[in-house]
Amino acid sequence: MDFGLTLLVNSFVMAISVVLALVFLQKGFDRLQWALVPAAYLIFLELAVVTAIANAVFQFFVPALSATLTFLLFVVGNFSGDFHTYAANSNSAVSKAVLYALYYLLPNMSNFNFITIAAHGQVVPLSIVLSLNSLRRGLLRGASVYRYSDF
């Protein structure tokens, strides 16, 4: 859980920097600054999930391979929502099964991506933030098990 505090402080500093830059450029507070708060928290949650994945992968592979696998899981996780769409539009039973399996097995990192919505001044719904927060807590508890293991 040590990495959670480090990520929280780094995310907080980045969010404050962006808000201060916007206040300076717009010469005052606007609705946009308040919309950035939940989006910045979701960026923190995404970083926490990626760190938990990296922590788990690191237990089984050498550092170079674990960094590569973590990066690949992050990239594929950003597009895992498309697997569901492709499976629904597929005519092949085998490709449907494989795509649905990938959709349910890989982390869906696009759930945390509300940057575009916040950039347009829209606030992320609180229900989404709370549901993703419960997902983060479960993943961090699972990742903390690996810290004390002797592989």
pLDDT single digits (tens) 53-88: 787 777 788 888 888 888 888 888 888 888 888 888
Number of domains in the chain: 1
What is the reported pLDDT for 151? Answer: 46
Q: State the chain's mean pLDDT as an integer.
A: 78
pLDDT in tens, 83-122: 888 888 988 899 999 988 888 888 777 777 777 777 777 7
> Tell me, what DSSP letter sits at residue 123?
P
The sign of the CA dihedral 38, 83, 64, 143 is positive
Rounded to two decimals, the pTM is: 0.72
Q: Which domain covers residue 83, as residue numbers? A: 2-147
CA 109 to chain centre: 5
The reported pLDDT for the residue numbered 3 is 58
Q: What pLDDT, on a 0 to 100 scale, did the predictor assign at position 139?
A: 65
Share of the chain above pLDDT 70, in %: 85
